[in-house]
Structure formats: structure tokens, C-alpha cells
């Protein structure tokens, strides 16, 4: 949206919410209890083949709660994760400072961890493994189905609770050719986000067994996440989930075509290649600060590119490209021209 445009996305969102609310009988929840809210939790639990689910305001809170519940369960204050895990990179060491937990890092920074990377856990026991599907810092990369099955089997055999960071879980269905419930089958807990691929406001879901969710609710209360009312977050989350649940196939296909063209025709490094979800990373030559300014100036919803200056190698800027509905309306050729203009403007 450019300055001066009459389009108001917030007003548009509220119009959609009003129409959605008027078409349903929505009650006001109170401290996590309410027909609409609890039906939404059951809907997601059924969707993923889990016994129970709990809606909460923050993904950071959701995953801290998960690793704490599993630490209590195993009486072991140590969990494992990849070094690009959100708990490591983006939460100011909350797992350590708030919960006194220890993290064991697995694998190498620049690749998806496989079952061989878990061997360290035979000598350094952990209560849980946090595994991100897909891995955002690797451009949405994923283990293949065989490797993913081996990881699940390893955790089961070693009695390590497997927690899936599924902030973008549904975006993995096109790559695996499986429903989300099949992808998470065998996991002990799952986290979902609603403001990423589903383009909602803040809001997340934590899923697992009934016992896990009961214990999670206690920790959510301790963290201050059991808000007096959650309907203002739950309504857009449920609306956007229902509207976008089956939208990721075409988005992933378009991302694959764009990524392949950027590599083939412009010679850019794309991660991963071939692209596996509706997002990927591309290394663009140039100064990150300059490119960041140019990307902001472009302000095109179809050209959904963001710069990662903090994670860029010298002389390049690591950028994340995400295909959304607006991108579907642009041809690959148009997007290649946008990339060229960005570098030569």
C-alpha cells in the first residue's frame, strides 16, 4: 500500500470479522472457558489427531511452557534443539533466565538436522527435542520423509519427548504430500501460530495429550497468559485458519517456480533449492542497509521480500521471500524484473 491510497487493511479486516461474527453465535470466554474458544481448541486437536489443545496469546510463551512441562515430566531440566531454534535466537535466553533450563544444540547451523545429529543425546540425556517444521532460518528447509520418520522413531525409543515448533506447520503439507495430522503423528506436543501463514493477529495453540494440556494450563497461568478474555484473538485466528487452511499448495508451487527462476536466470543463491514451502531465502549482492531501504521503498504486497542484515555474509544480503495471495497474481517474469530493479535502482 502506498501513501495516499484509500485501501485500509485494518478496516477491511474488521469488516471481515464482523461478517464472520454475525454468521456465528460467538460467546465471550472467561479465563479460557467459552463455547467458541473451546470448540476452536477441539477443532485443532481433531485436525492434528491430538487429544487436547489450549489457545494462548504468544508463541514464545507456548514453547517455553512446552519445554517446561516436559522437563517436569522427565525430571530433567535439559532440552535439545537446533541452533537456529526460536528459543535460542529470538527470546533473550528466556528458557535459561526464567526457567533455569539448559539447551543442548544439535546439528550444524547451515543444514537440517538428521537422526545422526541426535547421537549426542545418548551421552547428554534431554527431556525433550524441539524440532522446527519448516526451519525458517534455513529458508523453509525440511527433512525428507524418511529422515523425519527416523527422528520420530529415535525420540520414541530414547523416551525423549518430541515437541514440534509448527509455527508454519501447514505450509509443509505440499512438500510431504501428507496431511498435517500424519506429519505430526508420533510427536508428543505441537505449537501452532496463527499470525504467519494464516495472516491473523497474535495467537497460538499448544497441543498434546490431555495430561500435557492440563499441565500446560497451569504454566500458562503462571506466565500470565490465561487472560481474562481471549475472544478478540481467537475470532480472527479461527476465521483465518478456516479461510486459508487449504491454500498452501498453489503458494508453494509458485515459490518453487520463482526460486528456480532466480537461480537459473539471475544466478542467485537460493536456499533451499529446490524450494520446499511457500518461502525461501535468497542471497542478493550488495549492502544490507541499502537493500533494506530499497525493499521498504518498494512497498509492494506481491514482492514480499524482507532483509536479514544480522545473518548476511560479507558483500551480500540474506533475504526472505514469502509467497502470499498477492504474489499469485504476478507472473514469475514480473517478479524477476522486480528483483532486477531492486539491485540496479
Domain ranges of the chain: 9-244, 248-344
Q: Please, which residues have CB within 8 angstroms of residue 256's CB and are 6 or more apart in sequence? A: 274, 275
Give the three-state DSSP class for 114: coil
Q: Per-residue pLDDT averaged across 124-140, rounded?
A: 98
Give the three-state DSSP class for 127: coil
Give the three-state DSSP class for 189: strand
CA distance between the termini of the chain: 20
pLDDT at residue 7 above 80?
Answer: no
CA–CA distances in Å: residue 116 to residues 55, 110, 134, 138: 34, 16, 19, 19
pLDDT at 345: 73
CATH number of 248-344: 3.90.1150.10
Write the pLDDT tens digit of every residue in 272-292: 999 999 999 999 998 888 888
pLDDT at residue 301 above 90?
Answer: no
Structural fold of domain 9-244: 3.40.640
pLDDT at residue 2 above 50?
Answer: no
Query: What percent of the chain is modeled with pLDDT above 90?
Result: 86
User: ∠ CA 6-8-10 to the nearest 5 degrees?
Assistant: 170
d(CA 65, CA 214): 11
pLDDT at 6: 57
pLDDT at 59: 95
Amino acid at each position: 500500500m502506498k501513501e495516499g491510497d484509500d485501501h485500509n487493511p485494518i478496516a477491511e479486516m474488521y469488516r471481515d470479522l464482523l461478517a464472520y461474527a454475525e454468521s456465528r453465535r460467538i460467546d465471550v470466554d472467561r479465563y479460557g472457558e467459552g463455547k467458541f474458544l473451546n470448540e476452536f481448541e477441539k477443532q485443532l486437536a481433531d485436525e492434528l489427531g491430538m487429544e487436547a489443545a489450549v489457545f494462548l496469546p504468544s508463541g514464545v510463551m507456548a514453547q517455553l511452557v512446552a519445554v517446561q512441562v516436559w522437563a517436569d515430566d522427565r525430571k530433567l531440566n535439559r532440552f535439545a534443539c537446533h541452533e537456529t531454534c526460536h528459543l535460542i535466537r529470538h527470546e533473550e535466553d528466556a528458557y535459561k533466565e526464567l526457567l533455569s533450563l539448559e539447551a543442548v544444540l544439535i546439528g550444524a547451523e547451515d543444514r537440517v538436522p538428521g537422526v545422526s545429529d541426535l547421537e549426542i543425546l545418548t551421552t547428554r540425556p534431554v527431556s525433550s527435542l524441539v524440532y522446527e517444521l519448516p526451519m525458517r532460518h534455513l529458508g523453509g528447509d525440511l527433512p525428507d520423509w524418511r529422515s523425519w520418520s527416523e527422528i520420530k522413531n529415535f525420540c520414541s525409543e530414547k523416551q525423549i519427548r518430541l515437541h514440534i515448533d509448527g509455527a508454519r506447520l501447514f505450509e509443509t503439507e505440499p512438500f510431504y504430500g501428507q496431511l498435517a495430522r500424519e506429519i505430526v503423528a508420533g510427536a508428543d506436543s505441537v505449537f501452532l501460530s496463527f499470525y504467519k501463514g494464516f495472516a491473523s493477529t497474535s495467537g497460538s495453540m499448544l497441543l498434546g495429550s490431555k495430561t500435557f494440556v492440563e499441565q500446560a494450563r497451569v504454566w500458562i497461568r503462571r506466565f500470565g497468559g490465561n487472560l481474562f478474555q481471549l475472544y478478540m484473538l481467537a475470532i480472527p485466528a479461527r476465521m483465518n485458519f478456516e479461510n486459508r487452511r487449504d491454500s498452501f499448495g498453489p503458494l508453494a508451487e509458485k515459490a518453487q517456480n520463482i526460486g528456480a527462476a532466480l537461480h537459473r536466470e539471475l544466478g542467485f543463491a537460493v536456499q533451499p533449492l529446490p524450494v520446499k514451502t511457500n518461502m525461501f531465502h535468497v542471497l542478493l549482492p550488495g549492502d544490507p542497509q541499502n537493500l533494506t531501504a530499497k525493499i521498504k521503498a518498494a512497498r509492494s504486497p506481491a514482492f514480499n521480500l524482507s532483509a536479514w542484515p544480522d545473518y548476511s555474509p560479507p558483500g551480500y544480503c540474506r533475504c526472505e521471500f514469502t509467497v502470499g495471495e498477492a504474489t499469485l497474481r504476478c507472473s514469475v517474469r514480473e517478479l524477476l524484473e522486480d528483483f532486477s530493479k531492486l539491485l540496479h535502482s
